[in-house]
Amino acid sequence: MKMPSAFADYAIKYILEERDIALLELDESDLPTPIGEPTEDQLKSYYDDNIDLFSLPESKSITYAILTPDMMVETIPVEDSDLLALYEKNIDTYKKPERRLVERLNFLDYEDAQRAAQRLQSGEVDFEGLVSERGLTLSDIDLGDVTLEELSDAGETVFALSSGAITAPLKTDLGAAIYRVNGILNAQETPFDEVKEDLKRGFSLDRGRYSCDAA
């Protein structure tokens, strides 16, 4: 498609157009009448008419100090007897007995549990299959980590098993049940000396908070 000559001429004319600009700078000497210095009355009048330009809202200067428990930690006296008492108060955190990760599948009666155990032994069904047959999931029968005492009469039998082993049917307070051991957690003990500094900081922070609240 050929561009019309009229359009081409117009475009060329637009591109080639030029403009001449004259820049004039004026100052006070070019005014016909000098401005002169304003009088006191003129200044007062301008001030009154533009009072917002020369005024600020009322304000106050405040000086404050911040005191936090962290700032007081090093200044608070701490006795070993206080830390030992805190350690004993939270002894379950620092001394944990041997535990087992256990699942418990309950049955209506002991005979029902025996039949399930026989099916397990013969390989007819696995533990997960027994759970599923009862309309349950593994999370439904999970006891988490438990101590020997928490398992009551079943404790000795369960704790004698290795990880992954399944008990024979056991009579419990909740009826007949089969247990599976999923893990063995050894006893843990954290000595006082190992946590002394952490206890000291926690104790000091608590005292510091009390002091800050009372200040």
pLDDT reported for residue 129: 96
pLDDT digits (tens, 9 = 90+) for 50-70: 888 888 888 888 887 776 766
**Residue 138 near residue 103, CB atoms below 8 Å:** yes
Q: Which residue type does 158 have?
A: V
Query: How many Cα atoms within 13 Å fall on the side-chain side of residue 98?
Result: 8
pLDDT digits (tens, 9 = 90+) for 132-179: 999 999 999 999 999 999 999 999 999 999 999 999 999 988 889 999
Domains observed in the chain: 97-189 (3.10.50.40)
**Position with higher pLDDT, 176 vs 6:** 176
Q: How far is CA 84 from CA 16, 81, 94, 125, in A?
A: 95, 5, 12, 54
Q: Which residue type does 95 have?
A: K
Rounded CA-CA distance 143/155 in Å is: 13
pTM attached to this predicted model: 0.56
% the chain with pLDDT above 90: 47
